[in-house]
Amino acid sequence: MKISNKFLFAVFLTGFSIYLVFALNPEGASRILLNLLTFAGIYGLSAIGLNVHFGWTGLLNFGHASFMGVGAYVTLLLMPHAAGREGEITSTGLPFIVALIIGILSAALFGLLLGLPAIRLRGDYLAIVTIAAAEIFRLLVRDLESITGGVYGIINYTENLQKYRPNFINNFSESLEFSPSQAWVCLVAWVSILFTVLFLKRLNNSPWGRALRAVREDEDAVRAMGKNAVWLKLQSFMLGAGIAGLSGVLLAFNYGSLETTVFVPLLTFYVWAIMILGGVGTITGPIFGSIIFWVIISETDRLAFILFENANGQQLAGVRFLLVGLLIMALMIFRPSGLLGKKEELLLDVK
Amino acid sequence: MLDQLGNGLLLGIIISVASVALSLLYGVTRIVNFAHGEIIALGAIMTLFFSSPVDYRVLFLDKYSPLGYNFALSCILAVIVCGLFGALLEVCLFRPLRKGNVGNIAVLVVTIGLSIFIRHLYLLFATGKVQDFPLELQRRQTYLFFDMTPRNLNVLIAGIVVMLIFGFLLTYTRLGKAMRAVRDSEELSSVSGINSDNIILITWISSSMLAGLAGIFQAIINDVRWNMGFLILLLIFAGTVLGGIGTSFGAMVGGFLIGILVQVSVGLPFMEGHTEAKNAVALAIMILILLFRPQGIFGQKERIS
């Protein structure tokens, strides 16, 4: 396989940003790095799923947070957990791996349910419908307190994953002074990315993958070849939603408690920024995009702390979003293909 | 259920004015503007900045004082600032994008980035606190069969008058005709001697001024928040879509319908104890409209699938 200059540049930039973390944080760099690599892994996985929607098939999905949310809520609620105002304990439940599979399938099913009616809409209308559907999902989850814990959220579920933590993680974490539970989530996230990427690489070269990209380029031509374009789009919607569901579960395990505020539209826009940065239509792009993105985010937080001494916590947290907005705008105007994408593979006009 | 009608009308006037603005912009430029909510918030925040008492050190990281102007003057100034801001966006951002033949979807993503950026600028410089205009409290009174304060009744009447004048201008003046011409075909209208750049600039300015006005209304009826525009943006989309995207009259009626539906749905039997989910009703209606009558109530048929 020939390695392109773009790829080398992406690797270099990623390496440089990780170096920056060490350079800017004389103390506790390894802990900061673990934290941002965990987030990068989880969001990167989600961005890979979004790329199946937008990059491969050209579906303008702005409700990605809801797919992550469905995966997370279904999985957590099927396992032993505590939820709601009183912290009502559910002590029985399915083992982690079974609950996870059901969670991923539910996210894919939600993708199908949303996709069935919405997929016939033109690009910009699909954007509005998906973002509205994601908000409906969030409002309902917040409202159905008896099932989902509402605003009080879900707690005491992390043990379901942590009990499978292998011993070497404990030893390893002790020597590097970071939290073993986060190190385990991080490892699981990156192993998931590895398998997802291998799986998608295979799909991409299959007749199915080629048909999917053909839908993005010219839907009528696909129809003329006797392929069912709508069903192809739906399959793509389900596949991307399933991957998002998996990343939602991992996000929940990284947080340690799940609240509805996690799945606000801003989460979707984070994932969009990562996807555009990495390269729309690529498979590995979001991985690089995600690491660079999270280095920028975590260092911005420190910079904001120094720059705006009068600001309160909410305002400091706002500085990173300021940057996310700017990043999305600048990338879309100056380099819509991101680090690894190809310009000719971008769907930028309404079809 | 009927006791919510007054609230519904008030939410309706906010959405209605903002929907007319959004619909106008979409009609002429085909931009789905996700940053619309931020122009709405700008109207409210600027009014707060102009009108709050001088010793009220809250704005701008607690460093600067508001100006303490007369309230009516502040509103006018704020609307003008919104218009200028719209002009700035068009000249510095969207005109170059249009000249560079950047596609609709790319522009849509740019407006999302813009929206996130501006909104968090407000958070940084206008604080995350919920603030009120410096106006005295008023008691609710009953008019016909709905309750509202006299001030809110004035807002309602003013909003309807503004929209009627606006609709009249769009329908009967040369400017309105030119806008419709640019909407139908930018090239053909240029050939007929219409300066399409100017028309689009005027569209941006008038859309932003209307949005700013909607923000002032929202702040008078409720309060000023840094994210007030984003909170109401999806309802504005719903209003626009319901009335028929690209039609001013439709957006006006659609906005009122959404406002009333959201507030009245609080009184529905199955919504008891679930008032937080009221916005979900409006969004669900929007999705249904898009699926079954995508041109809305008043829109013309157009391929959107």
Q: What is the DSSP string of A66-98?
A: HHHHHHHHHHHHHSSEEETTTTEEE-----HHH
Q: How many CA atoms lie within 13 A of A126 on its CB side?
A: 24
Query: Could you report the per-residue pLDDT of B129-159, keeping only the tens digit for each?
Result: 788 888 888 888 877 777 788 888 899 999 9
Given a cut of 80, whether residue A337 has pLDDT beyond it is: yes
Given a cut of 50, whether residue B305 has pLDDT beyond it is: no
Q: How confident is residue B60, by pLDDT bands cut at 50, 70 and 90?
A: low
Inspect the interface and report whether the beta carbons of A122 and B305 lie closer than 8 Å.
yes
Which are the contacts of A52, defined by CB distance < 8 A and separation ≥ 6?
A200, A236, A239, A240, A243
Chain B residue numbers touching A281 (CB-CB < 8 A): none
Residue with tokens 């951002």: B93
CB B16 within 8 A of CB B159: yes
**Cross-chain CB nearest to B124 (options A132, A143, A319):** A319
CB B27 within 8 A of CB B246: yes
Angle made by CA atoms A236, A237, A242, in degrees to the nearest 5: 100
pLDDT at A23: 85
Domain membership flag for residue A236: yes
Domain membership flag for residue A86: yes
User: What does the DSSP assignment read for B42-76?
Assistant: HHHHHHHHHHS-TT-TTTTTTTS------HHHHHH
SS3 A258: strand
Domain membership flag for residue A284: no
Interface check for A113 against chain B (CB to CB < 8 A): the answer is: no
Report the alpha-carbon distance of residue A324 to residue A113 in Å, rounded. 30
SS3 B131: strand
SS3 B302: coil
**Among residues 131-160 of chain B, which lie with CB inside 8 Å of chain A?**
none
Domain membership flag for residue A300: no
- The tally of domains found in chain A comes to 1
Residue with tokens 């990068």: A40
Nearest to B54 by CA among B42, B40, B38, B69: B69
Return the structure tokens found at A165.
């933590």
Query: Could you report the per-residue pLDDT of A204-261, keeping only the tens digit for each?
Result: 889 988 888 888 888 888 888 888 888 988 999 999 999 999 999 999 999 988 888 8
Task: Give just the sign of the alpha carbon dihedral B54, B56, B60, B61.
Answer: positive
CB B11 within 8 A of CB B262: yes
Class for the domain spanning B2-292? mainly alpha
- Give the residue numbers spanning the domain of A86: 40-263
Inspect the interface and report whether the beta carbons of B104 and A350 lie closer than 8 Å.
yes
Query: Could you report the per-residue pLDDT of A2-50, keeping only the tens digit for each?
Result: 678 888 999 999 999 988 888 888 777 888 889 999 999 999 999 999 9
CB A240 within 8 A of CB A66: no
Interface check for B129 against chain A (CB to CB < 8 A): the answer is: no
Query: Could you report the per-residue pLDDT of A146-202, keeping only the tens digit for each?
Result: 888 888 888 888 888 888 888 888 888 877 778 888 999 999 999 999 999 999 999
pLDDT at A137: 92
Measured distance between the N- and C-terminal CA atoms of chain B, rounded to whole angstroms: 37
Return the structure tokens found at A291.
């690491």
Chain A residue numbers touching B265 (CB-CB < 8 A): none
Across the strands, what pairs with A83? A88, A154
Average pLDDT taken over every residue of chain B: 85
Angle between helices B278-292 and A96-118 (to 10 degrees): 50
DSSP assignment letter at B299: P
Q: How confident is residue B287, by pLDDT bands cut at 50, 70 and 90?
A: confident
The stretch A302-317 carries a mean pLDDT of 77
Interface check for B193 against chain A (CB to CB < 8 A): the answer is: no
Instruction: Tell which of B283, B288, B289, B292 to mutate to test the A interface (max A CBs under 10 Å).
Output: B283
Q: In chain B, which residue's Cα lies nearest the Cα of A129?
A: B287
Report the alpha-carbon distance of residue A303 to residue B81 in Å, rounded. 31
Return the structure tokens found at B74.
């502040």
Q: In chain B, which residue's Cα lies nearest the Cα of A323?
A: B117
